[in-house]
Structure 1
Amino acid sequence: MIQARKGNDQAFYDLMIANREKLYRMAYSYFHNEDDALEAVQEVTYRAFKQLKKLKEPAFFSTWLVRILINYCNDEMKRKGKVVAYEAFESKELLEEDHAEKLDLKTKIQMLRKEYQHVIILRYFHDLAVPEIARILEKPEGTIKTWQHQALKELKVAWKDGELHAMSSEKELYQIANKMNHVELPSKLNESIQAGMWQAQKERRVTKRRIWSSIAVSLFLLVFFTTVRASPTFANYISELPGGTWLVELVHSDKGLQQAIEQNYATAVGVSDEHAGLKLTIEGYTADEARIVIFYSLENKEGYSYASMQHFTLMPNEFLASMSYGEPHFEIENEKMVYGKIDIGINDINKLPEELTLATTFTLELPTTGEVNNEDVWEVIIPFEKESFLGLKEEYSFNETVDFAGQNITFSDAVIYPTQMSIEFEEDKENSLKIFSLEELAIENEKGERFEATTNGVISHNHNEWEKTLFLESSYFSEAEELYITASRVRALPKEALQVTFDVNSQTLLTAPRGLTLHEYSEDTSYHHFTFLIKMDEELDQSQSFQIFDRIILDEKKQQLDLINEWSSRTLEDSFEEFSFKVKKGNEQKLVFTIIDYPNRIYDEMKIRIK
């Protein structure tokens, strides 16, 4: 939280990710459809990002987010006249036995006063206690209790007037609410958070961006056009495009990719497709046997205020290992041309065709009328000159085991491609510690240049519990005489400390690693509710948010019981992080949580020469 308030965007994003499930499910409780719930999460992210410095009590960040969400829901219900679209709900759930029951209860809740609706949704759909509801709604606890009592009274009367049976207790309302609230998290949820941040960042960066870009492009192009290895084709092509700073911004966070572009390791393409006043152009790409980065532009001829790729496909795709694409373009409102990149991981270079067909739809918005009803598909064919990059790699075959932090770890077979580097890593099965992460891992050369973990979202590929491939920025164009693998610390725990055991009868922890404490425990008819505290490192964990436990919960016989529900976290004073979740109740005597990451660090120095 401290770093987020200082302007660390990654720290803010981590906070939103930690609260995303709660926000989405709560929004869904109001709107009952995915699109409106996602839009609510995006708007809450936007408002929170802009108003974060106004938050008086950082410890109540999660409560503050819910308050923003409820205000948004109020506005939307007023704007829509409390009309809720049930079409999607009905089409998906007509075959369920309790469909009529769900639909009827939703209708009855919507007939309540808005204050009563908030209390019912927060109390019974999301298991919030009266004090927390009071903080969210900024009302005395006595008022909340009165609203709750009156809402229950009206619901029971309304229910009796219907054809279904009357509710006999709050327990029944909990049961029905739990059925209604069981909704899967959509794949676009993270994108909605990113979109909200981009919208706020765009407004924050309008002035600063132009200043930074003019300086950065001058420095970049000085290197770009004077490098001895550059051929004029791609350089000339890029120099003629409007807004020459775009390429700098797209590659500046990846040192290896930046060096590749500086060395003119790229191919101009220039194929386009245009629909609805939006022109998509594939400007070029850089590629090797492991990765393809495609650069594209969007020309805004219709005055759109927002554009975002949707339903993106590449065909054929048998070669594909991973793909990320199309950040939301809020800046398109102020710029006629905007640019982006598509990052593709290659699984089998032999299956990469001579041509790729890229197809995508776009979500578009106009500043006056909002979202545009558009079903067009933009489609372009991208030719690939595979012969131009096949075999471009440096391979170093070695196998070296080192004692790092008292553990045997083995590095082998480094491959350095023009756009990224891969190294094989293996833990000794007999090690006493489980290693979660090698921190400050990098490749260093004799000139002191460091090439760190990649920024395209894929930092490793796990082969099994002990072996993985690590991905780092490429040093291909650094022309170094010497290369070393270096690291300075490791996050790890003793293997016997990886499982945290909770005794249901005594309501205490039987086993837990140092630094982890059970702060609060409660239960209701359906769930165990847990709140843990963990001590963080004041310096190293300023922008970190840990998912401590695996979502799978085990019993005392190590059999799977359930999944963790509604994980949320917040940063407290004195470098403590609080995280809460709930687990569905059964007949278990013990609950076993498995630790998959932990801020326990061991310092050591490692330096392995690979070249």
Structure 2
Amino acid sequence: MNREAEKDWEEVLQALRNDRQQLEHERNEPSDVELDAVIKTGLKLGGKRLVRMKRRRLGLQMLVSAICVFMLLTAFIKVSPAFAAMLRDIPGFSGFVKLIESDTTLQSAINNEFIQPVNKSDSKNGYTLTVSGIMADDQRVVILYSGTGPGVTKNTQVKKYVIQDEHGKEIVASIGWSHFAENEEVGAMYDKFDIVMGDGHPVPQTIHLEVNLEGQWLAVDIPVDHSRFENLKEIIPLHKDLEVGGQHFTLKKAIITPLQISIDVETDPSNVKKSNGFIKLALVDEKGRRWDTKGGFGMLDEGMTIHFQSNYFEKPKKLYFVADGLLMSERNKKFVINTETGETLETPDSRFQLKSAAGGSLTVSFSDLDETETGYGFWFFNYGATFRDASDKTYKLLDKEGTQYSWRPTETGSDAEAYYEIPVADYVQPLTFDVYQYPGYVLEPIHIELK
């Protein structure tokens, strides 16, 4: 960027600093509503300044997206010129804003300059994969990437990929992605891989990423600078017992890092009922700020590690583990059906019935689920479960792409259907399935002080 453009850039940054100082003077502790209003106002003001600047110099058009990022994510944070330059040097960074703004942890990480530029690409046959940057700590890695090429649009989704470590081994982790189709660039897609490492498995020194973009495989090796997150971890021994619905649990420890909070939960093996999950689980601090759960490793009934949004940079003085109750169901329940007549002979709840059975396809209906039951998924049959016919011969569910569910809202909650595939065989009727989970709960507030 030449001197004139750099001068224009500094003018915009200084205007943003002035806006921030005025806002801080007027509002020491803005509410969420006030903050939303300030951000919207800031975006409008920033847009007006940019209109005037664009008339003077067309080269400033490249700054529009970056300014929107700053107004959205740093309205109350000191704008570092060095960090501003770093974001400016990440190609297409504005295309990732919609992927980040729904995750308070990633917003906080950006505000605290916790991002590593990568800017590496691979191109073949007119297709290009670009990894713009990553956010990483010793538990979680978020990869921001984009793709262009023939047939690629903002709606393109990557469904085939390979993620390996520097030794060519697939990483042990849960991997999610968050497609958002509202970027402005024509012929480009933006997405992120959200990687949470399994317990005892460190973040690789280098991540080898391969994606299939419209039939073309592309690969980028991503270096991970571990020095950026060395010693950025707080471990809190807990050993806190809690009881809800007659079920007993122990919170063993909490690990707080810039991108995630993990809490190990031990479940009492003598619990009578099956524990399927906490209701509206979150962490709350002394100011009432809330960090929601984002899943975890394991199943609660067997003990699990639960992950939450991180408050590492907020440094709360107090932290509480809160929930509205517990999802739970009876153990050792059966679902017995006759696939020839369509009858349901035994079910844990009359609301759960066989809807249809034809050609090896089973549809199980769940009716009159209330609002609480609607808000959470469940595995009616366990993944890869077996079942028996009347001759006691054992068969296995055909899990081609996992269990599929559909939901239909009602006035009081929802109705749902689960779809299963079983082998086509000459069964001796009826068929007996072991029920793994089903909707059920108790509402009892949980409030445990962690620190």
> Is the pair's TM-score, using the shorter chain for normalization, greater than 0.5?
yes
SS of residue matched to 1:411? strand
Distance 2:417 2:204 in 1: 50
SS of residue matched to 2:227? helix
Pick one of 249, 256, 270 that aligns with 2:98. 249
SS of residue matched to 2:99? helix
Distance 2:278 2:176 in 1: 28
Q: Which moved more, 1:228-237 or 1:565-574?
A: 565-574
State the match for 2:32 in structure 1.
none
CA deviation after TM superposition for structure 1 residue 451, in Å? 1.0
Distance 2:188 2:426 in 1: 57
Distance 1:397 1:239 in 2: 41
Q: Check whether the contact 2:279–2:324 (CA below 8 A) recurs between aligned residues.
A: yes
State the match for 2:408 in structure 1.
571
Is residue 129 of structure 2 the alignment partner of residue 283 of structure 1? no
Is residue 296 of structure 2 the alignment partner of residue 445 of structure 1? no
Pick one of 318, 323, 347 that aligns with 1:487. 323
Pick one of 525, 537, 552 that aligns with 2:386. 552
Is residue 195 of structure 2 the alignment partner of residue 344 of structure 1? yes
SS of residue matched to 1:392? coil
CA deviation after TM superposition for structure 1 residue 272, in Å? 2.9
Distance 1:569 1:379 in 2: 35
State the match for 1:266 in structure 2.
115
State the match for 2:26 in structure 1.
none
Distance 1:390 1:448 in 2: 30
Cα gap change, 1:331 to 1:485, in 2 (>3 Å)? closer
Q: Check whether the contact 2:267–2:300 (CA below 8 A) recurs between aligned residues.
A: no
State the match for 1:469 in structure 2.
305
SS of residue matched to 2:107? helix
Is residue 367 of structure 2 the alignment partner of residue 534 of structure 1? yes
Q: Check whether the contact 1:553–1:561 (CA below 8 A) recurs between aligned residues.
A: yes
State the match for 1:595 in structure 2.
435
Residue type matched to 2:368 in 1? K
State the superposition RMSD in angstroms: 4.2
Pick one of 561, 584, 607 that aligns with 2:395. 561
Distance 2:75 2:418 in 1: 53
Residue type matched to 2:228 in 1? S
Distance 1:338 1:390 in 2: 33
Q: Check whether the contact 1:429–1:466 (CA below 8 A) recurs between aligned residues.
A: yes
Distance 1:466 1:280 in 2: 40
CA deviation after TM superposition for structure 1 residue 484, in Å? 0.6
Q: Check whether the contact 1:528–1:582 (CA below 8 A) recurs between aligned residues.
A: yes
Distance 1:312 1:452 in 2: 29
| Greater Rg by CA | 1
Instruction: Extract unaligned runs of 5+ from structure 2.
Output: 1-42, 48-63
Is residue 442 of structure 2 the alignment partner of residue 605 of structure 1? no
State the match for 1:131 in structure 2.
none
State the match for 2:27 in structure 1.
none
CA deviation after TM superposition for structure 1 residue 244, in Å? 5.5
SS of residue matched to 1:245? helix
Cα gap change, 1:556 to 1:435, in 2 (>3 Å)? farther
CA deviation after TM superposition for structure 1 residue 277, in Å? 3.9
Q: Check whether the contact 1:305–1:333 (CA below 8 A) recurs between aligned residues.
A: no
Distance 1:500 1:489 in 2: 26
Distance 1:303 1:511 in 2: 51
Residue type matched to 1:434 in 2? K
Note the alpha carbon deviations across 1:117-154, whole angstroms, 9 max, x for none.
xxxxxxxxxxxxxxxxxxxxxxxxxxxxxxxxxxxxxx
Pick one of 348, 358, 369 that aligns with 1:513. 348
State the match for 2:213 in structure 1.
362
Is residue 178 of structure 2 the alignment partner of residue 314 of structure 1? no
SS of residue matched to 2:108? helix
Cα gap change, 1:404 to 1:326, in 2 (>3 Å)? closer
Pick one of 294, 316, 333 that aligns with 2:143. 294
CA deviation after TM superposition for structure 1 residue 416, in Å? 1.1
TM-score calculated relative to the size of structure 2: 0.69
Q: Check whether the contact 2:138–2:202 (CA below 8 A) recurs between aligned residues.
A: no
Q: Check whether the contact 1:292–1:343 (CA below 8 A) recurs between aligned residues.
A: yes
Q: Check whether the contact 1:570–1:579 (CA below 8 A) recurs between aligned residues.
A: no
State the match for 1:478 in structure 2.
314
Q: Check whether the contact 2:98–2:180 (CA below 8 A) recurs between aligned residues.
A: no
Cα gap change, 1:586 to 1:295, in 2 (>3 Å)? same
Q: Check whether the contact 1:491–1:598 (CA below 8 A) recurs between aligned residues.
A: no
Distance 1:336 1:579 in 2: 37
Distance 1:336 1:313 in 2: 25
SS of residue matched to 1:453? strand
Distance 2:220 2:327 in 1: 45
Distance 1:504 1:327 in 2: 39
SS of residue matched to 1:250? helix
Cα gap change, 1:505 to 1:477, in 2 (>3 Å)? same
Residue type matched to 2:381 in 1? F
Residue type matched to 1:536 in 2? L
Cα gap change, 1:446 to 1:352, in 2 (>3 Å)? closer
Residue type matched to 2:308 in 1? L
Cα gap change, 1:589 to 1:305, in 2 (>3 Å)? closer
Note the alpha carbon deviations across 1:198-241, whole angstroms, 9 max, x for none.
xxxxxxxxxxxx99x98998785247456667754443222355
Distance 2:138 2:364 in 1: 47
Which structure has more helix as a fraction of its residues?
1
State the match for 2:334 in structure 1.
499
CA deviation after TM superposition for structure 1 residue 602, in Å? 0.9
Residue type matched to 2:369 in 1? M
Residue type matched to 1:512 in 2? T
State the match for 2:273 in structure 1.
433
Instruction: Extract unaligned runs of 5+ from structure 1.
Output: 1-209, 365-374
Residue type matched to 1:470 in 2? I
CA deviation after TM superposition for structure 1 residue 461, in Å? 1.2
Note the alpha carbon deviations across 1:357-389, whole angstroms, 9 max, x for none.
43444217xxxxxxxxxx5x5443333221221
Identity percentage of aligned residues: 23
Q: Check whether the contact 1:354–1:385 (CA below 8 A) recurs between aligned residues.
A: yes
Residue type matched to 1:407 in 2? Q
Cα gap change, 1:603 to 1:226, in 2 (>3 Å)? closer
Pick one of 395, 398, 413 that aligns with 2:253. 413
TM-score calculated relative to the size of structure 1: 0.53
Distance 1:353 1:527 in 2: 43
Higher relative contact order by CA 8 Å / sep ≥ 6: 1 or 2? 1
Distance 2:392 2:291 in 1: 41
Residue type matched to 1:479 in 2? K
